[in-house]
Chains A and B, each alone.
Chain A
Amino acid sequence: MSNLLLILILLPVLAALACFVVRASAVRRLVVPVTGGVLAAASVALLMQGPIEPWSPGALFGLSWDLIITVLDFALLGVIFFYGLKLKNVLIQLFTLAQIVLLAVFEFVMVEHAATPAFAADNLSLIMVLIISIIGSLICIFALPYMKSHEEHLHLEKSKQPQFFFFLVLFLGAMNGLVLANNVLWLYFFFEATTFCSFMLIGHDGTEIATKNATRALWMNSLGGLAFVIGMMLVYNGLGTLSLAAILSAGPQGALVLTGIAMMCLAGFTKAAQVPFQGWLLGAMVAPTPVSALLHSSTMVKAGVYVVLRLSPAYQGTLLSETIAICGAFTFLACAALAIGQSNGKKILAYSTISNLGLIIACAGLNTPLALTAAVMLIIFHAVSKSLLFLCVGTIEQEIGSRDIEDMRGLYERMPRTSFIAITGVLTMLLPPFGVLLGKWMAIEAAAGSIWVIIMLALGSALTVVYWARWGGGLMGSREPGKPSESLPLLINLPLVLLCVGAVVLSAATPVIYKTLIQPMLPGVGPAVNIGIGSLGAFEVYGLYIALGAGLVVAFMAGRRAPKLRKVAPYMGGANLGLEGSFNGPMNQPVAFGAGNLYLSEIFGEERLTMWVNILGAALTVLMIGGGL
């Protein structure tokens, strides 16, 4: 067991160092896939072993690991403070300095250093490790050819890839540490480590806009870090323990402890980019696509929802729980609305991520076994589908030089393979029988007893349909029969195909995932769950899956006839010229026609909505913290 944990956390660190120190690209091309493979295998092995009781590693060269983590913690805060000075950002300096002071007080005055087990893992942790290690690794592998052509586009004199892969791979180790940590101080260290990695990755290209957005990400997440420290102190003050397992088994406690928990949830909110903190994740779009994919699917934002979900037993049945549900539902609705007004593919993906994270947090706040099941389902399936979509956009962008969905109209003609995968990805985000929809369905059933949450979910869910359907349909198009398909490099093709197959096949495994992974960890699996699942019927719908699957096969068989049919041109009101895409205009001149999506920007435009969304989001967040008191 200890070996597996070491592999999962320390191997990425070593691999990252290897990428950084040995700058040759051949080394990267060897180290990254091998590390990915080992991580994936280790995560599966850990799953096979099952949950880990709270456990501490021994000492390293006679030094206790607790001490090493403490030292690293202050070092990391020092580095962040240094960047705060370098960027001349007062907020970063302020938040980091406050963290250093408070952490020093906490570590040296408050905490009585009794041995606290550093690691523990229940099924939630194991699921997270799987997501991080498998999806994260695939993204890192995808990044190898991607970054090569990315730098060719930029005409860099000196490659920055060693640094890039250093932080990319390191991120995986930090995330694994985060989800496996039992000692709150360790959790905090890994939490900060992910903040720093994401900051470095967002600012990677070094352009003015990249630096600006990286700075914003850093100050927002530093605020989260500060909230975490305060929360940690309040909780310790009330319960006298650093062990997460002990805190959770204690259940909801007095007002001060609950406020502490609320502060830690606030830290989760900033990391998961909930409104009003969504700005940093949108800004993070300037980073190279693998970074976006990593931040949005298997790391960073998932750390945020993980913390909120992890703490759910500690606020169950309190006002805090209800307010968390409302905050999450509001984010779900607001960001789905904002996504409609966008034509930038990456921005749509970003808003949809935040929206889905809101849904997960709303489920954590609803805090019933059904809702928690929905939350875990959403985490899993969102990670797969969203990473797939980001990688598709990255591939498309390198080919057509744009990430605007208007430029992707009829892309099937040019990039049939990528378009097909992207359309599949869109469908897995949107429709039954795929997992994301199952999660949404469970969330709606779970929220039926909570009037404001259900209204926001109903509206948000409809908004979601618009932006996905529009995009998926737009990618479809005509294509000359017998034209060769586009060719993709192996290391790009492989992650795309694996993720695509994974997104489809995993959905069919939903009942297995539920039975073996989720059900055992839900507290009080009794009649409540059985009734909940029974009314849901989610796990007895194999018949439906088979029917829909068979239907799709029929549809595709029918679609194969298309090349044999007589070719027709689109309808132009009888004014076709015989030229594809143009009609007979004034003076008998050919006029190219154009059609664009309706973005409903007078209602859903970013500049119209953002201010109000932020104000409401901030008010709700304050309400949430107040809900603890």
Chain B
Amino acid sequence: MKYLILALIGLIAAPLAGGLLAGIDRRITARLQSRQGPPIMQAFYDVLKLFGKEPLALNKWQIICAWVYLIGAAASCVLFFMQSDLLLIFFVQAVGAVFLVMGALAGRSPYSQVGAQRELIQILTYEPLLVLVFVCFYLATGSFNVSDIIAVDKPLLARLPLAYIVLTYALTIKLRKSPFDFSTSHHGHQELVKGVLTEYSGPYLALVEVAHWYETVLILGICALFWTTSWYWMAALLVCTYFLELVIDNTMARMTWRWMLKYVWGVGLAMSVVNLIWLYAG
């Protein structure tokens, strides 16, 4: 029963939280850029408007892919709230990520094709880091299960500080924020065309958007695992982390995939290894 309720929370509350966060994100970003910014609820208005538009698609694969992206993201979020195995959660979110790319590849537009290729490189960059972060959890707590990880009596951040930094890299890439946002851009000299999202329109773009909210909540949930002993500190950690993401997003220029792959793998792997050795020795 408890798990059913948790699952429902994951299914319903997560996208609401994610949408709200998207609104806050836009608002703070606007303020950082000396603009007023839209209302906090703007993300919901946008998605509702998209749902009301005429459904247009190039082919049925695209529709299927948009749906599976949403289902994968929602399922991984629900699994997380049900305190399941971290690796399972990881693989299920990979279902969504892969289908988003395949949907973009199914369209013949060069913009979506290029976006899809770049998104694949983003996946390639963050996936190993996430796995290694999960292994750090395993070594620190003896389990991959979220339920066991929550049950620790001391905040994990103390033992996994480097893993946390690695996770924030993964977060930046997964949220497609600068300097790692090249898969959702770029049309010549403007931002209207969104790379991997180019061919998704109307209700299908709305599905993709909702899926993205689920993903945001999932990643922040994983961040929350680093401080499960106190609600206040957990909240503080998440707020600081997300604010940091925003600042980085607004102060950094977009990088190339070469730079991302080499830099993030280099630094991320090195930090993971150091933290892993620390745990093995400890």
Chain A residues engaging chain B, CB cutoff 8 angstroms: 410, 412, 430-432, 437, 441, 444-445, 448, 451, 454-455, 457-459, 461-463, 465-466, 468-470, 472-474, 476-479, 535-537, 541, 544, 547-548, 551-552, 554-556, 558-563, 565-566, 568-573, 580-581, 593-595, 597-598, 600, 602-603
Q: Could you list 16 further interchain pairs (A-B, Cβ under 8 angstroms) beyond the known A437-B91, A469-B102, A573-B187? A: A444-B87, A455-B272, A458-B127, A458-B135, A461-B131, A462-B123, A469-B123, A470-B120, A473-B102, A478-B108, A551-B71, A551-B72, A552-B68, A566-B56, A571-B193, A595-B110
Q: Which residues of A contact B68 (CB under 8 A)?
A: 551-552, 555
Is the Cβ of B59 less than 8 Å from the Cβ of A478? Answer: yes
Is the Cβ of A476 less than 8 Å from the Cβ of B59? Answer: yes
The answer to whether residues A478 and B71 also contact, given A410-B108, A455-B269, A466-B123 and a CB cut-off of 8 A, is no
Identify which of A451, A541, A571, A581 contacts B280 (C-beta below 8 A): A451
> Across the two chains, which residue of chain B brings its CB closest to A593?
B110
The dominant DSSP class at the A interface is: helix
Bound Cα distance A535, B88 (Å): 11
A408 to chain B, nearest CB (A): 11
B95 near A: Cβ within 8 Å? Answer: yes
The dominant DSSP class at the B interface is: helix
B138 near A: Cβ within 8 Å? Answer: yes
Mark B54-78 against chain A: 1 for CB-CB distance below 8 A, else 0: 1111111111110110011001000
Bound Cα distance A581, B113 (Å): 13
Q: Which residues of A contact B276 (CB under 8 A)?
A: 451, 454-455
Identify which of B71, B88, B132, B199 contacts A458 (C-beta below 8 A): B132
Q: Which residues of B contact A462 (CB under 8 A)?
A: 123-125, 127-128, 131
Which of the 9-residue segments B27-35, B139-147, B150-158, B242-250 touches chain A?
A: B139-147
B179 to chain A, nearest CB (A): 19
Q: Which residues of B contact A568 (CB under 8 A)?
A: 56-58
Is the Cβ of A448 less than 8 Å from the Cβ of B88? Answer: no
Bound Cα distance A183, B72 (Å): 50
Identify which of A461, A552, A563 contacts B127 (C-beta below 8 A): A461
B23 near A: Cβ within 8 Å? Answer: no
How many residue pairs bridge A and B at CB < 8 Å?
A: 203
Interface residues on B, range: 35 or more
Identify which of A457, A459, A548 contacts B75 (C-beta below 8 A): A548
B277 to chain A, nearest CB (A): 7
Is the Cβ of B193 less than 8 Å from the Cβ of A573? Answer: yes
Is the Cβ of A595 less than 8 Å from the Cβ of B95? Answer: no
Identify which of A432, A558, A559, A581 contacts B95 (C-beta below 8 A): A432
> Across the two chains, which residue of chain A brings its CB closest to B85?
A537
B92 near A: Cβ within 8 Å? Answer: yes
Q: Which residues of B contact A554 (CB under 8 A)?
A: 67, 71
Identify which of A444, A465, A558, A573 contacts B123 (C-beta below 8 A): A465
Most buried by A among B91, B101, B123: B91
A-B contact pairs, 23 of them (CB 8 A): A430-B98, A445-B87, A448-B138, A451-B273, A454-B132, A455-B269, A462-B125, A465-B97, A466-B121, A469-B102, A469-B105, A473-B101, A474-B105, A477-B61, A535-B145, A544-B92, A551-B72, A551-B75, A555-B71, A559-B61, A568-B56, A573-B193, A595-B113
B169 to chain A, nearest CB (A): 14
Bound Cα distance A432, B71 (Å): 13
The answer to whether residues A551 and B79 also contact, given A465-B98, A473-B103 and a CB cut-off of 8 A, is no
Is the Cβ of A459 less than 8 Å from the Cβ of B128? Answer: yes
The answer to whether residues A595 and B114 also contact, given A548-B71, A573-B187 and a CB cut-off of 8 A, is yes
Identify which of A431, A451, A473, A536 contacts B105 (C-beta below 8 A): A473
Mark B95-123 against chain A: 1 for CB-CB distance below 8 A, else 0: 10110011111111111111011101101
Is the Cβ of B198 less than 8 Å from the Cβ of A571? Answer: yes
Bound Cα distance A422, B139 (Å): 39
Q: Which residues of A contact B94 (CB under 8 A)?
A: 431, 465
B120 to chain A, nearest CB (A): 5
4 closest residue pairs by CB, A with B: A473-B105, A473-B102, A562-B60, A462-B127
> Across the two chains, which residue of chain B brings its CB closest to A547?
B75
Is the Cβ of B98 less than 8 Å from the Cβ of A431? Answer: yes
Q: Which residues of A contact B106 (CB under 8 A)?
A: 473, 476-477
A366 to chain B, nearest CB (A): 14
B267 to chain A, nearest CB (A): 15
Q: Which residues of B contact A454 (CB under 8 A)?
A: 131-132, 135, 276
Is the Cβ of A473 less than 8 Å from the Cβ of B116? Answer: yes
> Across the two chains, which residue of chain A brings its CB closest to B201?
A568
Q: Which residues of B contact A479 (CB under 8 A)?
A: 59
B188 near A: Cβ within 8 Å? Answer: yes
Bound Cα distance A571, B200 (Å): 10
The answer to whether residues A597 and B67 also contact, given A451-B277, A473-B101, A565-B56 and a CB cut-off of 8 A, is no
B255 to chain A, nearest CB (A): 16
Is the Cβ of B123 less than 8 Å from the Cβ of A478? Answer: no
Is the Cβ of A562 less than 8 Å from the Cβ of B57? Answer: yes
B261 near A: Cβ within 8 Å? Answer: yes
Q: Which residues of A contact B59 (CB under 8 A)?
A: 412, 476-479, 562
Bound Cα distance A224, B105 (Å): 43
Is the Cβ of B269 less than 8 Å from the Cβ of A441? Answer: no
- Chain B residues numbered 5-25 whose CB sits less than 8 Å from any CB in chain A: none
Bound Cα distance A90, B112 (Å): 53
Q: Which residues of B contact A565 (CB under 8 A)?
A: 55-57
A529 to chain B, nearest CB (A): 16
Bound Cα distance A459, B131 (Å): 9
A77 to chain B, nearest CB (A): 46
Q: Which residues of B contact A572 (CB under 8 A)?
A: 109-110
B126 to chain A, nearest CB (A): 8
- Chain B residues numbered 244-282 whose CB sits less than 8 Å from any CB in chain A: 257-258, 261, 269, 272-273, 276-277, 280
The answer to whether residues A571 and B87 also contact, given A544-B79, A559-B63, A562-B57 and a CB cut-off of 8 A, is no
The answer to whether residues A563 and B60 also contact, given A473-B104, A535-B145, A551-B75 and a CB cut-off of 8 A, is yes
> Across the two chains, which residue of chain A brings its CB closest to B276?
A451
Q: Which residues of A contact B97 (CB under 8 A)?
A: 465
B241 near A: Cβ within 8 Å? Answer: no
B229 near A: Cβ within 8 Å? Answer: no
Is the Cβ of A598 less than 8 Å from the Cβ of B138? Answer: no
The answer to whether residues A458 and B131 also contact, given A551-B71, A552-B68 and a CB cut-off of 8 A, is yes
Bound Cα distance A135, B21 (Å): 51
> Across the two chains, which residue of chain B brings its CB closest to A470?
B120
Is the Cβ of B67 less than 8 Å from the Cβ of A551? Answer: yes
Is the Cβ of B144 less than 8 Å from the Cβ of A535? Answer: yes
Is the Cβ of B88 less than 8 Å from the Cβ of A476? Answer: no
Bound Cα distance A573, B280 (Å): 53
Identify which of A555, A569, A573 contacts B188 (C-beta below 8 A): A573
B84 near A: Cβ within 8 Å? Answer: yes
